[in-house]
Structure 1
Amino acid sequence: MIEMPPLQFAQTNGIRMGYYEAGPKTDMPPVVLCHGWPEIAFSWRHQLKALSAAGIRVIAPDQRGYGATDRPEPVEAYDIEHLTGDLVGLLDHLKIDKAIFVGHDWGGFIVWQMPLRHIDRVAGVVGVNTPHTNRPWADPIELLRARFGEHMYIVQFQDPARGADKIFNSRVEQTFDAFMRKPVPRSESAPPELPVAGVGASPRLNLAFPQMIAGYDAKHDPRTPILSPEEKKVFVDTFTKTGFTGGINWYRNMSRNWQRSADIDQTVRVPSLMIMAENDQVLPPSSTDGMEKLIPDLEKYLVRGSGHWTQQEKPEEVSAKLIEWRRRRFV
């Protein structure tokens, strides 16, 4: 039986946002859990239960474009100003002054931006896998294109005509079968590709995700799923209904976000925790090198044996660290 608090709704920043809340309303500052792509608030089901049982007030929204939350049409409606503004509006709706923001994957990028843009609403920040980095010296899409080429998934996402949305939308179960698995134990110096239609793994990371999904066959995948059939059904049913475009539109604002952030000081001036995953192939622990220069009050914690979906792969360890840090730093 999957336990989730009741779904509630908030009018925030021009949209209706679905969210889940647990724990005592008297607990301050509460913890806001922000998911990544392709995920939903359900990705935090283990932490909602554990943190609330520990007496911590915890809130997990479906963010703009996802799940029970509105999916505006304009691509520009998914820029960083809207995404951080949504969280401020959620606090307003709940009459919360400040919160600790915890983010995984894309959610990590959002929560690191919160103290840069809305410092008066942020008590602390926790990044899960996603580091805080300085503003790139050039447009991040051009940097990714130069490093990885046109088939790199983020580069592909920039042009809707290339059909990435359609590939994911027409292969929802394949997408979650392929993505939501534990990594293969590292026996080589480089991470493997996901198996595609029985083709053997090659010693490099395949970042052409749309094409990978189009050719994926779970029968030939030796990796262990991290979701039970019941849990996978929640993701598949949700994205079958909503599609993937809302989340992909976050990527389509990377150049816009970069252009509009030139005058923002990148120093994070709140207590911060960086939870790293030893075997994350896209966001490895090495990607956090140098964060201390931008975050004076930073702790780091390594989750060994975990791939990218850390809060779902190692839920007890992630929850325990969040509880320990929250209790120690916010008495």
Structure 2
Amino acid sequence: MFNPTDFPKPTLISVNGVELEVFEAGRENAGKPIVLCHGWPEHAYSWRHQMDALAAAGYHVIVPNQRGYGNSSRPTEVTDYDIEHLSGDLIALLDHYGYEDATFVGHDWGAFVVWGLTLLHPNRVNKVVNLSLPYQERGEKPWIEFMEEILGGDFYFVHFNRQPGVADAVFEDNTYRFLRNLYRKNEPLRAPEPGMALINLARAETPLGEPVMSESELAVYVSAFETSGFTGSINWYRNLDRNWRLLAQANPIIQQPTLMIYGDRDMVAKSENLTKFVPNVEVVNLDCGHWIQEEKPQETNQTILRWLEQKDAT
């Protein structure tokens, strides 16, 4: 088990009009940056198992709490969390360290940001590693509108947009319970319940399956969200249709060498046409659920390091 006290101490760095709480490993490897981008409702701490392994392999590992998370800034305007702002933070972080480009790694929402960053600023990204969330094709309709038609108003993406503040308050009233019930693996299949699934989860007395992390690890997340609340992080969802519009002019093809890691038991759907948009992709499936780098830390590290070694050798 990972000891939370082993995690590096953060630095607050001013970038792009906000302050980001940034954790680092391998500073002695200046010149070979790799930036790890967490998802929702996560924290830089979700990469605790990867940082030392990547530093040992010669990388300068840069792990921000993105805006809305941890002790990073939490702007009040919803539009301050769109893909231009989120990718702009990462570009400004590269500028801060004096890097032309970097390898970017994303999980869940972090993967969405890395995909968007690569479309908007292709010359700043040399390689892409994404976990769980594949490239999202920009269809005819804005994403939330499309989801509402297909999945209904209780689907959490739609609910966050159509009923702002409702879920945020429930999660804040049940922070420990929500995060404890969410960070599970090997959960039994169950029939969908009526209502909004994540609100139900936040109120459920008993968690299902097995915990992904120890109580002391979970406490890091709970403490962070008790401080920050959930609204800043949920505001990422409230920009999906805006992001759909902001990405309209971008070339939709990602040319960078890309590694896509799926969890075979993840609820997030795999892409059926990934190579259409990401022609230089290698796909790896691991036997786990959604929290890939925490459920299978060794396998995740081996997969990423093997792939990076191959790409660096060519």
Find the counterpart in structure 2 of residue 87 from structure 1.
90
Q: 1:228-275 deviations in whole A, cap 9, x for unaligned?
A: 010011000110010000110000001111122222111001111100
Find the counterpart in structure 1 of residue 24 from structure 2.
21
Q: How does 1:1-331 map to 2 (within 5 A)?
A: 1-2=3-4, 3-26=6-29, 28-161=31-164, 163-184=166-187, 192=189, 201-202=190-191, 204=192, 208-218=196-206, 221-281=207-267, 283-284=268-269, 287-304=270-287, 306-331=288-313
| Structure 1 residue 117 displacement after superposition | 0.9
| Structure 1 residue 49 displacement after superposition | 1.9
User: Matched residues in 2 for 1:290 and 1:104: separation?
Assistant: 19
User: Matched residues in 2 for 1:12 and 1:86: separation?
Assistant: 6
Match of 1:132, SS state, is coil
Give TM-score scaled by structure 1 length. 0.89
Query: For residues 327 and 241 of structure 1, do their structure 2 counterparts lie closer, same or farther at Cα, with a shift above 3 Å needed?
Result: same
- Corresponding letter in the other structure for 1:326: L
- Corresponding letter in the other structure for 1:303: L
Aligned length: 310
Is the CA contact (8 Å cut-off) linking 1:65 and 1:246 kept in structure 2? yes
After TM superposition, what 4+ stretches of structure 1 lie above 6 angstroms from structure 2?
A: none
| Structure 1 residue 26 displacement after superposition | 3.2
| Structure 1 residue 213 displacement after superposition | 2.8
Is the CA contact (8 Å cut-off) linking 1:76 and 1:253 kept in structure 2? yes
User: Matched residues in 2 for 1:115 and 1:138: separation?
Assistant: 22
RMSD over aligned CA atoms reads: 1.6
Match of 1:235, SS state, is helix
User: Matched residues in 1 for 2:164 and 2:216: separation?
Assistant: 34
User: Matched residues in 2 for 1:120 and 1:133: separation?
Assistant: 20
Which structure 2 residue ranges, 5 or more long, are not aligned? Answer: none
Give TM-score scaled by structure 2 length. 0.94
Q: 1:129-182 deviations in whole A, cap 9, x for unaligned?
A: 110132121011111111111111111101354611100111100111111000
User: Matched residues in 2 for 1:300 and 1:261: separation?
Assistant: 24
Q: 1:100-143 deviations in whole A, cap 9, x for unaligned?
A: 00000000001011221111211111110110132121011111
User: Matched residues in 2 for 1:252 and 1:111: separation?
Assistant: 18
Is the CA contact (8 Å cut-off) linking 2:260 and 2:283 kept in structure 1? yes
| Structure 1 residue 184 displacement after superposition | 2.4
| Structure 1 residue 214 displacement after superposition | 4.3
| Structure 1 residue 56 displacement after superposition | 2.1
Find the counterpart in structure 2 of residue 198 from structure 1.
none
| Structure 1 residue 206 displacement after superposition | 7.5
- Corresponding letter in the other structure for 2:100: D
| Structure 1 residue 207 displacement after superposition | 8.1
Is the CA contact (8 Å cut-off) linking 1:79 and 1:257 kept in structure 2? yes
- Corresponding letter in the other structure for 2:230: F
